[in-house]
Amino acid sequence: METDSTVAPVSKRMLWAGYIASALPVLLLIFSAGGKFFKPEGMEANVEPLGWKMSQMTGLGIVEIACVIIFLIPRTAVLGAILLTAYLGGATATHVRIGDPFFIPIIAGVLIWLGLYLRDPRVRELIPLRG
């Protein structure tokens, strides 16, 4: 099957914008996972209203870091974005369920896909935004 590849190559400006857009949610998720591993004092008071137990935090942190690592590897970045979207969907649902603000995980998910869109021509080919 022949494909009509009309996707423009990635400019340096677009590539850097993609890296910056991707770095923001990655840093947020690394910080979040770090809290799950190191369990700072007072964390239990924040976790229990969400419906989670402290004993579940390490496992959740492992999932979070694994998804981020998969996202950071260029060959598996699309799979990582899909996994992070699922993870952030769960975070959104958790916050909606208890009436907390839920815009942070949504913004992180949008930035993950925006960053990937800007730096990966394969994603732009799959999602051709037309002006």
Q: Which pLDDT score is estimated for 130?
A: 76
From CA 104, how far away is CA 109, in angstroms rounded?
9
- State the pLDDT at residue 14: 92
Nearest to 72 by CA among 125, 26, 16, 118: 26
For residues 105-121, give the mean pLDDT: 96
Q: How confident is the model at residue 131 (pLDDT cuts 50, 70, 90)?
A: low
Q: Where are the domains of the chain?
A: 12-126
% of residues, the chain, pLDDT over 90 = 79
Question: Once rounded to an integer, what is the mean pLDDT over residues 12-32?
Answer: 96
Is the predicted pLDDT of residue 4 greater than 80, yes or no?
no
Would you state the pLDDT for residue 9?
A: 76
Phi, psi (5° rounding) for residue 52?
A: -110, 160
- In the predicted model, is pLDDT for residue 111 greater than 90? yes
Predicted confidence at residue 68, as pLDDT, reads 98
What pLDDT sits at residue 6? 62
- For residue range 33-87, what is the model confidence (pLDDT) as tens digits? 999 999 999 899 989 988 899 999 999 999 999 999 999 999 999 999 999 999 9
Residue 126 phi/psi, 5-degree rounding, is: -75, -30
Question: What is d(CA 69, CA 36) in angstroms, rounded to the nearest whole number?
Answer: 16
